[in-house]
């Protein structure tokens, strides 16, 4: 009997520890949608310009981040100081990543890979849907990326993208929060890592 209780407790503990916080309390629903879209960097006629702060480990970087769509599945992401010195210059074209430049303070393999993954997720315009969940006022689309998953949280009525959560099978790794009042324009973006000390704050430049 004791052995049975011990095995039962271990099974419950294992299931609880393996459950993903992202989908707790959500109801899985049938879906017809093939892809979920991120419209915030989809217009090639717009230069998306943000005041930017990057906190990475014990270093802080501030300046201006510019995102430009160059073509289908092709974006350029450039981070400069307020005086115009380039801190990094990345290009994404489909699955191809090009590091045009990065300052020495950031040019560490682990940092480059993290920034690459963050900005690839940020500018990626569509992803194939694996499953759909619902909460009281949101619809959540689960997608797959390499060995991880991305969950797109959309406001239910307007289908406005509010958040993307990148996860492993059991843990949330990165959360991207969007604040948007204009259609297809993100006024503020916060990229927060849960397993490392890295945070990116973006605030859109306002027209005078």
108-131, pLDDT tens digit by residue?
Answer: 999 999 999 999 999 999 999 999
> Of 84, 75, 106, which Cα lies nearest the Cα of 200?
106
- 52-77 pLDDT per residue, tens: 999 998 899 999 999 999 999 999 99
Q: Which domain holds residue 42?
A: 21-204
Distances (CA, A) of 9 to 24, 100, 170: 21, 53, 19
**3 within a domain of the structure (yes/no):** no
Q: How many domains does the chain have?
A: 1
DSSP 69-132: EEETTEEEEEEE-TTS-EEEEEEEETTEEEEEEE-TTT--HHHHHHHHHHHHHHH--EEEEEEE
Task: Determine the Cα–Cα distance for residues 92 and 70; give it in Å rounded to an integer.
Answer: 10
The pLDDT, as a whole number, for residue 14 is: 38
Ramachandran assignment for 57, one of left (phi > 0), alpha (psi -120 to 50 degrees), beta (any other): left
Confidence of residue 146 (pLDDT cuts 50, 70, 90): confident
Residue 25 gets which letter from DSSP?
Answer: T
**33 within a domain of the structure (yes/no):** yes
- 80-109 pLDDT per residue, tens: 999 999 999 999 999 999 999 999 999 999
**9 within a domain of the structure (yes/no):** no
- Domain with 182 in it: what CATH number? 2.50.20
The pLDDT, as a whole number, for residue 20 is: 86
- 24-48 pLDDT per residue, tens: 989 999 998 899 999 999 999 999 9
**6 within a domain of the structure (yes/no):** no
pLDDT > 70 in the chain, percent: 90
Kindly state the tokens that stand for 196.
């490392």
pTM of the model: 0.88
The pLDDT, as a whole number, for residue 172 is: 96
**129 within a domain of the structure (yes/no):** yes
């Amino acid at each position: 009997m004791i052995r049975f209780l011990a095995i039962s407790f271990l099974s419950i503990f294992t299931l609880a520890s393996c459950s993903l916080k992202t989908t707790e309390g959500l109801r899985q629903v049938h879906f017809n949608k093939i892809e979920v879209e991120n419209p915030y960097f989809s217009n090639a006629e717009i230069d998306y310009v943000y005041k930017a702060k990057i906190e990475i480990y014990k270093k802080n970087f501030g300046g201006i981040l510019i995102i430009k769509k160059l073509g289908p599945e092709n974006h350029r992401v450039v981070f400069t100081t307020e005086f115009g010195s380039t801190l990094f210059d990345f290009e994404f074209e489909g699955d191809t990543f090009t590091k045009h430049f990065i300052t020495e303070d950031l040019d560490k393999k682990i940092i480059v890979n993290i920034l690459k993954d963050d900005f690839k997720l940020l500018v990626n315009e569509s992803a194939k849907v694996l499953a759909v969940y619902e909460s009281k006022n949101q619809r959540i689309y689960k997608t797959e990326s390499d060995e991880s998953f991305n969950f797109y949280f959309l406001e239910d009525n307007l289908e406005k993208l509010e958040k993307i959560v990148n996860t492993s099978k059991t843990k949330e790794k990165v959360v991207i929060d969007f604040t948007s009042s204009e259609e297809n324009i993100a006024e503020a973006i916060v990229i927060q890592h849960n397993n490392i000390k890295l945070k990116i704050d973006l605030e859109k430049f306002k027209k005078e």
